[in-house]
Amino acid sequence: MARPLQHALRISTSSPEQTRTLGRKLAHLLAPGDLVCLRGDLGAGKTTLVQGIAEGLETDQPATSPSFTLLHQHQGRLLLHHLDLYRLGPADLADIGVEDLIGGEGVVVVEWAERLPPALAGDRLDIAIEFDPACDEVRHFHLSGRGARAGLLLDQLREENDAHPGD
């Protein structure tokens, strides 16, 4: 009998390399149309996680923060659309065509996703990143899913993390 989907997962990392490894693990599970929404304070590790996702998708160039260009696109095994909404308002989202990217042929990863209008964020994987108050290097990743596809991603990531916790 198949076990039910659990729509929450917590993973901790203790270095930027472990954060990139988590991103690579996630990248191997992503499929066209997936939306990953990242939340966390400045310096929490959002861009570091995206760097791991880009590496796992074997993109043509490393991911960098798109804070000033708003959107980076990287071709790899899948097209990666990397958005940073830190400096954007709702009108800006329409200008760059975010609604056309979400659910399209590539993977969309959004930093500062709390600024994404709810109407655009249906089925998605939410990742909230927190600093550990006891140790500057430790980050806690709280993953939750909205929708069937996100639930499946969480189950797969849970299995992958249980099988290879420190990789």
Sign of the four-CA dihedral 159, 161, 165, 167 = positive
What pLDDT shows up at residue 67?
A: 58
Q: Going by C-beta distance under 8 Å and a sequence separation of 6 or more, which residues neighbour residue 95?
A: none
Across the range 69-74, mean pLDDT stands at 78
**Boundaries of domain holding 64:** 13-161
Give the CA angle between residues 73, 22, 145 to the nearest 5°: 80
Angle at 149 between CA 156 and CA 111, to 5 degrees: 90
Asked if residue 5 belongs to a domain, the reply is no
CA distance 15 to 59: 22
Residue pair 119/137 in contact (Cβ under 8 Å)? The answer is: no
**76 CB neighbour count, 10 Å cutoff:** 18
Looking at residue 89, which CATH number applies to its domain?
3.40.50.300
CB atoms within 10 A of CB 21: 19
* Count of domains for the chain: 1
Predicted pLDDT of residue 50:
96
Looking at the domain assignment, is residue 8 inside a domain? no
Q: pTM here?
A: 0.86
166 found inside a domain = no
Identify the pLDDT of residue 5. Answer: 42
Q: Does 144 reside within a domain?
A: yes
